[in-house]
Chain A
Amino acid sequence: NAGVTQTPKFQVLKTGQSMTLQCAQDMNHNSMYWYRQDPGMGLRLIYYSASEGTTDKGEVPNGYNVSRLNKREFSLRLESAAPSQTSVYFCASRGPTRNSPLHFGNGTRLTVT
Chain B
Amino acid sequence: AQTVTQSQPEMSVQEAETVTLSCTYDTSESDYYLFWYKQPPSRQMILVIRQEAYKQQNATENRFSVNFQKAAKSFSLKISDSQLGDAAMYFCAYRSAPNYGGSQGNLIFGKGTKLSVKP
* Stretch in contact with the other chain, from B13-21, B64-72, B104-112: B104-112
Does A60 have its Cβ within 8 Å of any Cβ on chain B? no
Main SS class of interface, A: strand
Q: How far is the CB of B89 from chain A (nearest CB, A)?
A: 9
Instruction: Report whether B91 and A99 are in contact in the complex, using a CB–CB cutoff of 8 Å.
Output: no
Task: Give the contact-size bracket for chain A.
Answer: 20 to 34
Instruction: Report whether A106 and B44 are in contact in the complex, using a CB–CB cutoff of 8 Å.
Output: yes
A107 and B43 contact, Cβ closer than 8 Å, known pairs A41-B111, A42-B109, A98-B98? yes
Instruction: Report whether B35 and A101 are in contact in the complex, using a CB–CB cutoff of 8 Å.
Output: yes
Main SS class of interface, B: loop
A43 and B33 contact, Cβ closer than 8 Å, known pairs A50-B104, A98-B98, A106-B44? no
Q: Quick one: which of B50, B105, B112 contacts A42, CB cutoff 8 A?
A: B112
- Across chains A and B, the number of contacting residue pairs, with CB separation under 8 Å, is 53
Instruction: Report whether B35 and A88 are in contact in the complex, using a CB–CB cutoff of 8 Å.
Output: no
Instruction: Report whether A106 and B43 are in contact in the complex, using a CB–CB cutoff of 8 Å.
Output: yes
Closest to A90 in B: B45
Does B97 have its Cβ within 8 Å of any Cβ on chain A? yes
Interface set of B (CB-CB < 8 Å, partner A): 4, 9, 33, 35, 42-45, 47, 50, 52, 91, 97-98, 104-112
Using A33-B106, A98-B52, A99-B52 as known contacts, list a sample of 6 further A-B pairs with CB atoms less than 8 Å apart, ordered by residue number in A: A41-B111, A48-B106, A99-B33, A101-B47, A102-B45, A102-B106
